[in-house]
Structure 1
Amino acid sequence: MKFYYYTLLIAITLLGCKKDYAKDNGDYAFFGGEIINANNNYVVLSKSKRIIDTIKLDGNNRFIYKVDNLQPGLYNFKHGGEFQMVLLEPSDSIMFRLNTLEFDESLVYTGEGAKKNNYLINEFLRNEIEEKQIFKFCQLNAEDYQKEIDSIKDNKLKKLKKFKNKYDTSDLFNKIAQANIDYNYYFNKEIYPFVHYGGNKNDILESLPKDFYSYRKNIDYNDAFLKDYFIYSTFLRWNFNNIALSEHYKHAEKNHFKSSDVCYNLDRLALIDSLVTDLEIKEDLLHHYTVNFLNKSKNEKNNNAILNFYISKSSNAEGKAMITQYAKALHNLKTGETFPETVLIDTRNSETSVDAIINSPTVICFWSQTYYDHFKESQHKIYELSTKYPEVKFIVINVDSYGMDSALKALKRNSFTFKNQYQFKDPKASKEVLAIYPITKAFIIDKDHKIVNSKTNIFARNFEEQLLGLLNR
């Protein structure tokens, strides 16, 4: 009830503000909200990777902000590592309420412009739920699979039509809502050969109906408007995975495919270079695939081939410097090397070091409030593994720059143990030295501080086999 009184108060305030700003011709919007179980005291508002402002919460974890010189479109708001999008158009006065313990699920908008945003967040949540169902459908033959996803798309189109008939929607909203439906459908098509249980991907491709990928001729690989939209970027990645597969089979054995093959990865990078001209979209894709390959490959020759291709095609000096440093760090973290000396802060805010706390076979893993789902899942997994393998020490390091107090609040709020929890003293430098990308990576270290595996993952199917190998050394 307090929130609704607050919303009413804000609405009255905004009505007054709108009169005062009438001369602005509507090139502004108001955005605010209330955050339950706040992780920190601010919200970051951004658009197209450009931070607009860091907005401080008041004593009741609320805020109200006027976006001047509004560029209509999708904006990001971020709090405590979680983020979501909001569509802002001229003269919108949008308020939200959310609980950080269920960030997306609890998000509700009110005010002028709320209906379109509630529609979009509900579609986002629906897509997440449908994903598991889609993966099951992928085991059907191609014709039956297409019927299932066609049915899902038709239902979404009917729902959108009903919404547009009920409310006076803008062309901008219509474009985004339609793109959400279309690119989810295209995404479902692109993942089919990879998720389908068949081992021979070439046979799967050849069994597809001739029009299965007919929509590709209309794909815009350089859509500047949608480039910040999650489903568009996700589609592009899977589309390049797929078309690179077809390209790969033109010169590879028809019954052979591994996503780790250097020739497949070079094919994919070459396709990106040939089809994408938008520099930001191209850089995001080249960067993503280059880093992923380097993180998984242990073949120095192949790593150099991928790195050199990226450097020759990227126009982003900062990106090239970062990936070159990343490759160098990975080279220094090979099996048999001594784990780098790293200064940590313990839960009592005292300095220590990795060298000082390794005295037995050890696993070092990481978490960030930016990846909240991984944070929760990894803490549960570490508890399970440490109970099952008491001979192994699990060191858990928070990589954020928010300070240890913020990390401890996140642990306490979720009832996780403080045991063997640490934070980097210098997060930026430590993440570079240890090449911490993705956040799921983990190190296996022997009792003599030697690296056994620097590219593992506690969720990997063979992770427990790796632990047994460590204990039997």
Structure 2
Amino acid sequence: MERSLYMVRLLLGLTILSIISCSEKSETQTSIYFGGEIVNPTSDYVVLYHNDVFVDSVKLDDNNRFAFNLDNIEEGLYHFDHAPELQYVYLEEGDSLIARLNTVEFDESLVFSGKGSEINNFLIEMFLDYEMEEPLIEDFYELDASEFSIKVDSLRNIKVERLKDLAEEYEFSDRVLAMAEASIDYNSFISKEKYPFYHKKKLGEDTFHNIPDSFFAYRKQIDLKNKDLTYFRPYFDFMKWHFGNISYMTCLENCATENQPVNDRLHFNKHKLALVDSLVQQPELRDILFRNIAVDYLLKEHNPSAESRMFIDKFRALSSNDEHKEEIDLLYRGIENLQPNTTLPNILLLDANNKEVSIKEVANGKKHTVFYFWTAAQKKHFRNVNKHITELEQKYPQYNFVGINLRTSYPQWKLLVEEYKLDTSKQFYGENFKEIQMAMVIDALNKCVIAKDSVIVNGFADLYKSL
């Protein structure tokens, strides 16, 4: 992203300094102040989390402003949730931080001002930069390893210089600087972890190219002990790719026959569990990696088999997180309950009149019902799926296509149904996202469940592939 855009965003922050003057609290009253204004709110509340733990929630006032006064909280990375959107905020002692955003373009419009704004504006800039660069990097994957590395390193170096300039202007603590550096490094490292697989796919080849060890020199910089980074998305996404890659390559080298990897998901995922167990000592990182491996295995397996139970037993022996263990058990039961010829789960939905209706009632008496899922947070998907459903309804008039909305406020859902002129008899609101996610095993944007009357025909269908 151009430096001029960076300056525009900083200048935009100056327009809301008036909010600070009427909202700022003295340090004798609170150690950290975090407030702001939300234009076009989609929920009545802003909810603050540290890692995955709830910290506090506040209701928007009549001017769509919010304010957190936080005492005795740990310095570090938090995220604030204004359903259905969320974004990071870094908080440290003495901050008086103001955020302003418009939910129409949540991430693009977000700007911080006040004490603590420099690191937070930098983090959102890095998020947007890498989002913008994705199509560019996608084209780089066809290059050889040396050329690819030069291109990716060049993009990274631009950001490193930007941070260097910022650090000279503002006095960052070591922890803040480490977070800023991580926002640059791990997104760049992800691209390199992807390279061997994407390069092979781009060239349409069956085997991996020999890649020099120097290409992976960045792996020496990996920090497996920094607790501050555990729940930072670029860091965790990198870890998923990294351990998946090492497991795959190790298995290809030691377990393969005729240079072909073992085609056994249980075998491969047990490799991943063992690798994380041997290399990662930081407890929270260990546990969320174990959880991710278990979720990934079960969602792709879709089969309540003896092998799946064996894998879950291995996961349970390694994990120290009881909530994760319960979640994996729920997921496994959800998979069991979505097998063919089982009845639909007992899920309650809301209709356009705010009346509760069970999912079985919706499907009852219908020859075939296709349940699909959407959220206001994925605007492009929402538009695409509406167009696709219209085409499917014409192609399969004997099917009943029913949309279930998730992670959107009820008023916003009603407005979208009205704006897009959707059939209210075929649109329902899912209030309890976690319950529906587990019961219907929602693992992809295009996931759908096909039922005949209230009996499941295909619990793991895809809107674009199964019809």
Give the TM interval when normalised to the shorter protein: 0.7 to 0.9
Deviations 1:82-122 (A, max 9, x none): 11111223322221111112110111122233233222211
Structure-2 residue corresponding to 1:317: 322
| 5+ residue gaps, structure 1 | 468-473
174-183 or 121-130: bigger deviation: 174-183
What is the distance in 1 between the residues matched to 2:14 and 2:215?
A: 49
Output aligned runs, 1:343-382, within 5 Å: 343-358=348-363, 359-368=366-375, 375=382, 378-382=385-389
- The 1:427–1:44 alpha-carbon spacing in structure 2 relative to 1, beyond 3 Å, is closer
Whole-angstrom CA distance in 2 between matches of 1:392 and 1:279? 49
Which blocks of at least 5 consecutive residues in structure 2 are unaligned? 1-12
1:10 to 10, 13, 20: 20
Of 284, 287, 291, which residue of structure 2 is paired with 1:287?
291
| Correspondent of 1:441 among 432, 442, 447 | 447
Partner of 2:4: none
Helix, strand or coil: the match of 2:121? helix
Letter in 2 for 1:276: V
Matched residue SS, 2:227: coil
Distance 2:355 2:197 in 1: 48
CA shift in 2, pair 1:381/1:173, >3 Å:
farther
| Separation of aligned partners in 1, 2:333 and 2:379 | 29
Change over 3 Å in CA distance of 1:425–1:213 after alignment to 2: closer
Structure 2 distance, partners of 1:203, 1:422, is 47
- SS state of the match for residue 394, structure 1? strand
The answer as to whether partners of 1:37 and 1:99 remain within 8 angstroms in 2 is yes
Amino acid at match of 1:398: N
TM (norm. structure 2) is 0.86
Q: Helix, strand or coil: the match of 2:343?
A: coil
**Alignment match of 1:408 (pick from 386, 391, 414):** 414
- The residue number in structure 1 matching 2:426 is 420
Match of 1:139 among 136, 139, 142: 142
Alpha-carbon displacement from aligned partner over 1:261-309 (angstroms, at most 9, x marks no partner): 3222221122112212222212211111212221221442432232222
Is the aligned partner of 1:326 residue 2:336?
Answer: no
Q: How far apart, CA to CA, are the structure 2 residues paired with 1:364 and 1:260?
A: 31
Deviations 1:7-30 (A, max 9, x none): 42532552xx32xx35x7xx7222
Q: Residue 38 of structure 1: SS of its match in structure 2?
A: coil
- How many Å apart are 1:351 and its aligned residue? 3.5
Q: Which moved more, 1:102-111 or 1:433-442?
A: 433-442
SS in 1 for 2:342: coil
CA–CA distance in structure 2, aligned partners of residues 406 and 222 of structure 1 = 41
Report if the CA contact (8 A) 2:273-2:290 is conserved. Answer: yes
Give the 3-state SS of the residue equivalent to 2:215 in structure 1.
coil
- In structure 1, what is the equivalent of residue 225 of structure 2? 222
CA–CA separation in structure 2 for the residues paired with 1:156 and 1:430:
41
| Aligned CA distance change for structure 1 residues 162 and 5 (closer, same or farther; 3 Å) | closer
* Cα distance, 1:162–1:266 mapped onto 2, change above 3 Å: same
What CA distance in whole angstroms lies between the structure 2 residues aligned with 1:314 and 1:98? Answer: 38
Q: Distance in 2 between matches of 1:70 and 1:331?
A: 42
3-state DSSP of counterpart to 1:212: helix
- SS of residue in 2 equivalent to 1:256: coil
Find the residue that maps to 2:142 and give its secondary structure.
Answer: coil
Q: CA deviation at 1:383?
A: 4.2
State the match for 1:59 in structure 2.
62
Task: Report the counterpart of residue 296 of structure 1 in structure 2.
Answer: 300
Query: Residue in 2 aligned with 1:270?
Result: 274
Q: Report how far residue 159 of structure 1 moved.
A: 1.8
User: Measured at CA, do residues 76 and 374 of structure 1 come closer, stay the same or move farther in structure 2, by a change above 3 Å?
Assistant: farther
- Closer, same or farther in 2 for the Cα pair 1:277/1:347, shift >3 Å? same
- Is 1:102 matched up with 2:102? no
Displacement after TM superposition at 1:242 (Å): 0.6
Match of 1:470 in 2: none
Contact 2:255 2:262 (C-alpha < 8 Å) held by counterparts: no
Q: Per-residue CA shift, 1:183-230, capped at 9, x if unaligned?
A: 1221111111222225667533xx101212123234222321111211
CA distance in structure 2 between the aligned counterparts of 1:342 and 1:70, rounded to whole angstroms: 38
Q: Is the 8 A contact 2:37 2:65 kept in 1?
A: yes
State the alpha-carbon separation in 1 of the partners of residues 33 and 453 from structure 2: 58
- Rounded to whole Å, the distance in 2 between the matches of 1:8 and 1:244 is 53
Distance 2:188 2:429 in 1: 41
Deviation at 1:401, TM superposition (A): 9.0
Q: For the residues of structure 2 that align with 1:292 and 1:458, how far apart are their CA atoms?
A: 20
- Aligned 8 A contact 2:371 2:448 in 1: yes
Compute the TM-score of the two structures, normalised by the length of structure 1.
0.85
Distance in 2 of aligned mates of 1:374 and 1:454 = 21
Distance 1:377 1:170 in 2: 45
The residue aligned with 1:392 is 399
Number of equivalences: 450
- 2-structure distance, mates of 1:260, 1:373: 35
Aligned CA distance change for structure 1 residues 224 and 5 (closer, same or farther; 3 Å): closer
Distance apart, 1:77 and its partner CA = 0.9
Identity %: 34
| CA-based RMSD | 3.0
Confirm or deny: 8 A CA contact 2:83 2:407 kept in the other structure.
no
